[in-house]
C-alpha cells in the first residue's frame, strides 16, 4: 500500500490519476448530455421531466452519485494544480540552467498551461451551473413556479442572458479542453502506441466537438430560438 501511494505521489503517478479521473468525468458528460437531450424530444418537456423525476426518486443513490462526482472533480482539480505547479518549477530550473529566451517562451505556451487556464474557466462555469440548478440561488429565476416541472425550470434558466453567455463560452472552452485532454489521458495511461495514436487523437477531437456543441446547443437554442414559453 505504501509503495502504491509513493508511486501515485510522483509526477507520473499524479498524471495517471488525473487521466483516470478525467476519463471518468468524460463518462459523466456523456450520460449528462444524453439526459439533457431529452429536452428536445417533446416541446412540453414530458420526457425530460420523467427522467428528472426518476433520478430524484432515488434520493440516496443520487446523493451518493453526486458525492462521488464531486470527489472526482475535486481530485482532478487538485491534481491539476499540483502538476501545474511542478511544471512551473521545472521551467524555472530550466531557466536558471540558462535556456534561451525563445525556448522559455515556447515552454510558457505548452498544452499543460492552456489546460490549466481552460480548466479554471470550466470551474467558473460549473459554479454558476450549481448556483442555477442545484442550490437554486438565482434571484432572477422564479424557481417556485417550477416545483414539478424540471423542463420548465431548465428553460427559464437557459433563457437568461447571464446563463446564455456563460454557458455558451463555458461549453466551447470545455470542448477545447477535451480536445487535448482525452488524448493526453490515454497517453498518461500508457496507451500511446504509434498504430493507435491517430485514432485516439482524432477520436478525442470528435468526442470534444460533440460534447462541446451538444452542451452549447442548449443556451443557444433556448435563448435565441425559444426566447419565450
Longest dimension (CA), the chain: 65
Is residue 4 one of the residues assigned to a domain? no
d(CA 186, CA 21) in angstroms, rounded, equals 12
Centre a 10 Å sphere on the Cβ of residue 97 and count the other Cβ atoms it contains. 7
Is residue 160 one of the residues assigned to a domain? yes
Is residue 3 one of the residues assigned to a domain? no
Residue 115 reports pLDDT greater than 90: no
CA-closest candidate to residue 219, choices 157, 140, 176: 157
d(CA 35, CA 38) in angstroms, rounded, equals 6
* Higher-confidence position of 101 and 120: 120
Give me the helices (H) in 97-160, please.
Answer: 101-108, 111-133, 150-158
Residue 107 reports pLDDT greater than 50: no
- Residue 109 has what pLDDT? 52
pLDDT tens for 51-78 read 999 998 998 999 999 999 999 999 999 9
Q: Is 136 left (phi over 0), alpha (psi -120 to 50) or beta?
A: left
pLDDT band at 10 (very low <50, low <70, confident <90, very high): confident
Centre a 10 Å sphere on the Cβ of residue 10 and count the other Cβ atoms it contains. 11
Q: Name residue, grid cell 494544480.
A: 81
d(CA 188, CA 195) in angstroms, rounded, equals 16
* Domain that residue 185 falls in: 10-225
pLDDT tens for 29-39 read 999 999 999 99
Is residue 5 one of the residues assigned to a domain? no
3-state secondary structure of 221: helix
Is residue 2 one of the residues assigned to a domain? no
* Higher-confidence position of 87 and 177: 177
d(CA 198, CA 129) in angstroms, rounded, equals 34
Is residue 205 one of the residues assigned to a domain? yes
| Number of compact structural domains in the chain | 1
Please give the model's pTM, rounded to 2 decimal places.
0.88
| Residues sharing a CB contact under 8 Å with residue 132, sequence separation 6 or more, in sequence order | 138, 141, 157, 163
d(CA 82, CA 101) in angstroms, rounded, equals 25
Amino acid at each position: 500500500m505504501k509503495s502504491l501511494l509513493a508511486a501515485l505521489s510522483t509526477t507520473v503517478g499524479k498524471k495517471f490519476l488525473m487521466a483516470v479521473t478525467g476519463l471518468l468525468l468524460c463518462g459523466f458528460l456523456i450520460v449528462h448530455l444524453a439526459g439533457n437531450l431529452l429536452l428536445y424530444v417533446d416541446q412540453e418537456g414530458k420526457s425530460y421531466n420523467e427522467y428528472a423525476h426518476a433520478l430524484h426518486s432515488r434520493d440516496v443513490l443520487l446523493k451518493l452519485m453526486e458525492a462521488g462526482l464531486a470527489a472526482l472533480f475535486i481530485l482532478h482539480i487538485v491534481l491539476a494544480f499540483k502538476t501545474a505547479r511542478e511544471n512551473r518549477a521545472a521551467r524555472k530550473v530550466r531557466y536558471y540552467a540558462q535556456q534561451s529566451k525563445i525556448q522559455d517562451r515556447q515552454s510558457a505556451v505548452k498544452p499543460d498551461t492552456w489546460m490549466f487556464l481552460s480548466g479554471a474557466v470550466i470551474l467558473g462555469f460549473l459554479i454558476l451551473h450549481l448556483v442555477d440548478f442545484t442550490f437554486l440561488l438565482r434571484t432572477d429565476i422564479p424557481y417556485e413556479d417550477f416545483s414539478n416541472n424540471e423542463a420548465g425550470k431548465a428553460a427559464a434558466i437557459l433563457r437568461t442572458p447571464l446563463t446564455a453567455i456563460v454557458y455558451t463560452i463555458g461549453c466551447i472552452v470545455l470542448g477545447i479542453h477535451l480536445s487535448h485532454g482525452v488524448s493526453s489521458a490515454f497517453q498518461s495511461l500508457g496507451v500511446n502506441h504509434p498504430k493507435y495514436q491517430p485514432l485516439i487523437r482524432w477520436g478525442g477531437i470528435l468526442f470534444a466537438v460533440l460534447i462541446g456543441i451538444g452542451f452549447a446547443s442548449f443556451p443557444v437554442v433556448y435563448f435565441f430560438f425559444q426566447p419565450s414559453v
